[in-house]
């Protein structure tokens, strides 16, 4: 059949995790090291207006998941895409060969989000999201367990180790 990854020459990787866990930093380095195309969904949504307006309470765009998936379909079919987003349950399961969930120790994440200007409920919501491992659970509910890989992202050593591990994985990947 045509399921799975059989038509791609290179793998697609999703990097998810609570805001501040280091997705964009990791993806920029990994895209460079492994020759993947980095697609930051937040940026794409803003650039192409793939949203239904601004949510004042959550202070973010209300992402239009159908528009985002339509926009990405052709490139995902080609392969070699590195998707960067703090959510993972609305992408087609068949798109990804590996799903990374970055995780950060709570006090470290708290400092990162504070320096980014987060406060009040936006700050506590994100901290709780990390404490309760919301993204790990969402990934495990949305993808086959054996392609979901949690990785620690507390410090710069973690980032270099993760980038090394993942670029090796990408380079050793073969179509099924
Ligand atoms: P995300 O894309 O997940 O929101 P970013 O990559 O934008 O996270 O990182 C948020 C901030 O935290 C940046 O200033 C980044 O330099 C820092 N940071 C992220 N991950 C790490 C890490 N593992 N070690 C040290 N600093 C990090
Ligand atoms: Mn980011």
Q: Tens of pLDDT along 9-23?
A: 999 999 999 999 999
Tell me, in angstroms, the distance from the centre of ligand 1 to residue 25's CA: 6
* pLDDT band per the 50, 70, 90 thresholds, residue 79: very high
Q: What is the mean pLDDT of the chain?
A: 95
In degrees, to the nearest 5, what angle opens at C-alpha 112 toward C-alphas 107 and 116? 145
Query: For residue 88, is pLDDT > 80?
Result: yes
**Interface ipTM:** 0.99
Q: Where are the domains of the chain?
A: 13-161
**Ligand 1 shell residues, CB under 6 Å:** 17, 19-25, 112, 153-156, 158-159
- Top pLDDT among 4 and 162 is at 162
pLDDT in tens, 89-105: 999 999 999 999 999 99
Tell me, in angstroms, the distance from the centre of ligand 1 to residue 101's CA: 14
Mean pLDDT (whole number) for 157-173? 98
Query: For residue 5, is pLDDT > 60?
Result: no
Tell me, in angstroms, the distance from the centre of ligand 1 to residue 158's CA: 11
Distance CA 89, CA 27 (A): 19
Closest CA to 97 of 81, 74, 86, 85: 81
pLDDT in tens, 132-157: 999 999 999 999 999 999 999 999 99
Query: For residue 1, is pLDDT > 50?
Result: no
Q: Is 123 left (phi over 0), alpha (psi -120 to 50) or beta?
A: alpha
Question: Is-contact 169 98, C-beta < 8 A?
Answer: yes
Tell me, in angstroms, the distance from the centre of ligand 1 to residue 157's CA: 12
CATH of 13-161, one of 3.40.50.300, 3.20.20.10, 3.40.50.2300, 3.10.20.30: 3.40.50.300
Atom of ligand 1 nearest to the CA of 17: 3
Distance CA 149, CA 160 (A): 16
| Minimum CA distance residue for ligand 1 atom 21 | 22
């Amino acid at each position: 059949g045509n399921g799975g990854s059989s038509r791609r020459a290179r793998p697609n990787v999703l990097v998810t995790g609570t805001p501040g866990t280091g997705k964009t930093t990791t993806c920029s380095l990994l895209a460079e090291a492994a020759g993947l195309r980095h697609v930051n969904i937040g940026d794409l949504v803003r650039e192409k207006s793939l949203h239904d307006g601004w949510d004042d309470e959550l202070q973010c765009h209300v992402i239009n998941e159908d528009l985002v998936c339509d926009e990405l379909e052709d490139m995902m079919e080609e392969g070699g895409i590195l998707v960067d987003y703090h959510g993972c349950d609305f992408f087609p399961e068949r798109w990804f060969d590996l799903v990374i969930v970055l995780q950060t120790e709570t006090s470290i994440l708290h400092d990162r989000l504070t320096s980014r200007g987060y406060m009040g409920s936006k700050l506590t919501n994100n901290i709780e999201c990390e404490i309760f491992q919301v993204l790990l659970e969402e990934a495990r509910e949305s993808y086959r367990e054996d392609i979901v890989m949690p990785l620690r992202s507390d410090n710069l050593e973690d980032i270099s180790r993760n980038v090394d591990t993942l670029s090796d994985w990408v380079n050793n990947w073969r179509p099924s």
